[in-house]
Amino acid sequence: MKTAERIDTRAVMTSRPGRPAGRSLLRIGPWIAIPVRRATVIAAVVTLLLLLGAAVATLSLGRLGIDPADLPSALMGEATGKNAFVLNRLRGPRLVVAIATGAAFGLSGALFQSVTRNPLGSPDVIGLGAGSGAGAAAAALFFPDHVPVPVGALLGAVTAMAVVYFSTGTGFRNPGRLVVSGIGVAAMSTALTQYVVYAVERDKASALTAYINGSLSARSWDDATTIWGVLLVCLPLAALLARPLSIGEMGDDLSTGLGARPARTATAAVTLSIVLSAGAVSVAGPIAFVSLTAPQIAKRVTRSGGPHLVMSTLLGALLLVLADLTAQQLPLFDNLPVGLYTMAVGGAYLGYLLLREWKRPAV
């Protein structure tokens, strides 16, 4: 009799309306139950393992790398000599910054693409990266002894987003106006950046060019504290937006009928996306295409709908760590900015999308 009761209860649980096939509930305490897909959990675990492997490779490869046998003790605080220098000054901060920066870019792109329902959408499209580059350039040219370049980049990003916000006439609520206004702001910002690079001295221009392409060289623990602080503040807020974003992807009319507020959700998601991108840009420069490609890879890995916030965060971290590992270890080039490698990946991705569209039969 007890066996029959257990079977009946289980049948009711699996046939409960509103729970899609392939999903289970992750319970945190008596009040929180989060629906998760098994495929997403598996993909997240695999991504974490790949990220761990890339992190170990970053710390151990190359002439100055830490021997893998010594790595556990070094991470426990027992590093000395060369190992201490590599872990605490050379590669450790750079790796920690890369993980958080990539995660911030990936989560930012997922939020933005979910709101705009555009696979080519990212904060770069609305001029944030270009604005940060212009701010960094202006700081280097006009206030070289008063405003640090990263602070200039942050101010430039904030200014660009303020211009976009007011120029649309609807704030961040209308995705179409947002993109059009952002393209104009990006064009003006790029023009200012190119003028500054042309006008400043050659040595300063070289350093500035590296920054505005996105670089993780010479990162410090202060940079790591900054970006991890931004990420840890934004993650709970993104979690609160996960359900409204999922409902919003059904369309404004249906989501409004279900009690959601798509305009408020869009404003909150775009604002949070901008904060994440601005935080990442302030420590690493406008690294391109991570926010564009990470959500799309997440969508294809999980093969499901939804904003994919967790997977986009993990894949953004993995993409940037792999790109930085390539930048450090590729023998053909010496210390190229990591942003150039992400641009190459993003260009290949856009080429793939273009070829796929060409192969589709005309309707």
> pLDDT digits over 79-103, tens only?
778 888 888 888 889 999 999 999 9
Least confident stretch, 19-33, 65-79, 258-272: 19-33
Q: CA-CA distance, 112 to 292, in Å (whole number)?
A: 9
Beta strands, E only, the chain: 23-28, 32-37
Exposure string (b/e) for 208-219, b if CB count within 10 Å is 16 or more? Answer: bebbbbbbbeeb
Q: What is the pLDDT of residue 32?
A: 52
Question: How remote is the C-alpha of 261 from its chain's centroid?
Answer: 25
Upper half-sphere CA count for residue 27 (Cβ side, 13 Å): 3
> pLDDT digits over 180-231, tens only?
888 888 888 888 887 777 776 666 666 677 667 777 887 888 889 989 999 9
**68 or 54, which is more confident?**
54
Average pLDDT, the chain: 78
Q: CA-CA distance, 279 to 180, in Å (whole number)?
A: 24
Q: What is the pTM of this model?
A: 0.81
- Checking if the pLDDT of 107 tops 90, the result is yes
Q: What is the dihedral of CA 289, 292, 295, 301, to 10 degrees?
A: -60
